[in-house]
Structures are given as C-alpha cells and as structure tokens.
Amino acid sequence: GNCISCRKIAKNVHPDVFCVTLPNEKKSIPVESVRELEKTLKTKPHEGRAKVAIIDPADKMTESASNAILKTLEEPGPGRYLILISSRAAALLPTIRSRCQIVMFTPLPSLTIEKLLISRGISHENAVLASSLSGGSMTDALSYLEEDTITKIDCLFKFLSSLNAKTPLSGLDSIDLVKTGKNGIRTETLSFLHLSTIVMSEILWIITHSQEDITEHPLCNVFEKKIKSIIGTISVSELT
C-alpha cells in the first residue's frame, strides 16, 4: 500500500504493529521476544483503533516461547490481533494450532512475482529468474536475489558439465561455494540442493519438450545456452 500507515508498517516503524522475527544470528525465537510482545499488546494503540502482533516464522519459537504465548492467543483482549506466519504449520504446538484460525495462502503466479520484483527496481532478467525459481513465494524470490544465485547456478552447470565430460573433479567449485557461504555449511548445502533440484527439473522440461514450447519457457533466455552446453546430444530415450 501507499498510505502513511502502510509505509510505516513496511519500514517496521508503525507504533501499533509489532513484529517478532528471528534475532540476528539466532536459530529460534526466544521467550524474551514473546514477553516483549505481550507487554506491547497491553498498551493502548497510538495511531489506530487496534494493535497487531506478527510472529514470523512462528514455527521457530522455542518451546518456552510457544507456551508463553498460549494465554495471549486464547484471550488477546479487545482490539488486539496476533498473526502467526509459518510455512510449517505442523511444526507448531497442537495447543497453538487449536487456538488459531488457519488461513491458507496459495502460491503466487510467477508473472505476479516478476512484476512485483520489477516494481522494486529489479532488472527484467533477474526478476524472471527469481520468480521462476520461487515456487510462488515472494519471500523465496527475494532470497534468491539476496543470495548469489547466478554464481550457484553457474557452479551447478559446471558440475553437470564435468559429469558429462567424465571429469567430476573439475566441478568441485560447488563444494567450495557451500563451504565458504555466509550461512554455514548445513544451511548453504540445503539451499544449494534445493536450487539444484529446481534447476534440474527445468533442464528435464527443456529436454523433453519441443522447440516451440521451449521458446515460450520463462527461463529459456537465462538457461538455454548453458543447458545446451550440458545436454549436447542427450535424447529423451537416454533419460528413461
């Protein structure tokens, strides 16, 4: 939105909207963050008629934090709203899920994400790449832009090329990339494997479709030259 309240919320400076996220360099939301949230909800609204607390990702709350929020979820008080965001609802305590109204969100169309990214000043090529890899998630699309996704894809293609050339040792750049990533080996490995799965599915799609279909594929302009260098004379029969 473009109103004053929307801009304040976007900048995380609205006095009546309180967001709880993962603290820097932490893997979980501590109970202290939840207690601070509860204190904020007890105060009167400053600008609006209600107060809103957002916990994202809610499934990252510690057990203590999850238990601490239960009473507030059951009796938030008039004009008090709690929004728990999670892509892993099953990871929430059953006592939390039973106190919430579940609202499911469907994936956004790639074209919608592409337009949103371009509106934020992202180049058309990067917007197409990120939106096509996002799986309908704006958050994932933005994370692909923050990460050095192009470098990861280049390493993946180099690794695949080395396998095709039967010189797998020449494709070890991908391992070095994982080891030197800023988010730790485990997180970087999972991220690289997730990206590799998506890219491989696109490679298989291009191999198994006609030239006319390929031309219309949103990733074709980004991947086509690299893919052709890998698949060479691979035929559909060789994949089955």
User: For the residues 190-199, what does the mean pLDDT come to?
Assistant: 75
pLDDT tens, 142-182? 887 876 676 777 777 777 666 655 555 555 555 565 555 55
Distance between CA atoms of residues 138 and 106, nearest Å: 12
CB environment 180-195: b (16+ within 10 A), e (fewer) = ebeeeeeebbebbeeb
Residues 160/230, Cβ–Cβ less than 8 Å:
yes
Phi then psi for residue 47, to 5 deg, are -120, -30
- Whole-prediction pTM: 0.61
pLDDT surpassing 50 at residue 240: no
Percent of the chain at pLDDT above 70? Answer: 72
pLDDT band at 48 (very low <50, low <70, confident <90, very high): confident
Choice between 27 and 219, residue whose per-residue pLDDT is larger:
27
Residues 57/85, Cβ–Cβ less than 8 Å:
yes
The answer to which of 18-22, 34-38, 127-131, 173-177 has the lowest mean pLDDT is 173-177
